[in-house]
Amino acid sequence: MDLAQFTPATWIGASLALVVAAGIIWVGISYLVSPTATGQGFGFTSAITPEVTPWQHIKGPRDIVSGLVVVAMLVFFGPAAAAVILLVEALIPIGDALMIMRNHGRPAVALGVHASTATVMIVAAVLLFF
């Protein structure tokens, strides 16, 4: 990573990107360790049944990898590459928010967690392009 390519805006964007990456890695680990409790905070209002739990285990590794991809792109390919990945990955929390709303989940979680995460990702990406 060439630190000379980092401007003050890029440093802020990189910091936001790393916070988001760490957060989604933590969520992924939480799904592996305690899928039911983590799933209940996702925003759906339906009960977590034993049939659903295996799907929660799948979500854990996917979230961990999503976070690691952001870190890897930033470290090995630079701010612009990380920005592109953040913009693409921002579709994940947007999709999560839409699915929660479509299935009559908790709007506060859909907007407060998922939509705000997407917003931070987009802001970080814009800053990384500077």
Q: What local confidence, expressed as pLDDT, does residue 17 receive? A: 97
pLDDT digits (tens, 9 = 90+) for 107-122: 999 999 999 999 999 9
Residue position matching structure tokens 């693409």: 88
pLDDT digits (tens, 9 = 90+) for 67-104: 999 999 999 999 999 999 999 999 999 999 999 999 88
What global pTM score does this model have?
0.88
**Which amino acid belongs to residue 74?**
L
SS (HEC) of 6-67: CCHHHHHHHHHHHHHHHHHHHHHHHHHHCHHHHHHCCCCCCCCCCCCHHHHHHHHHHHHHHH
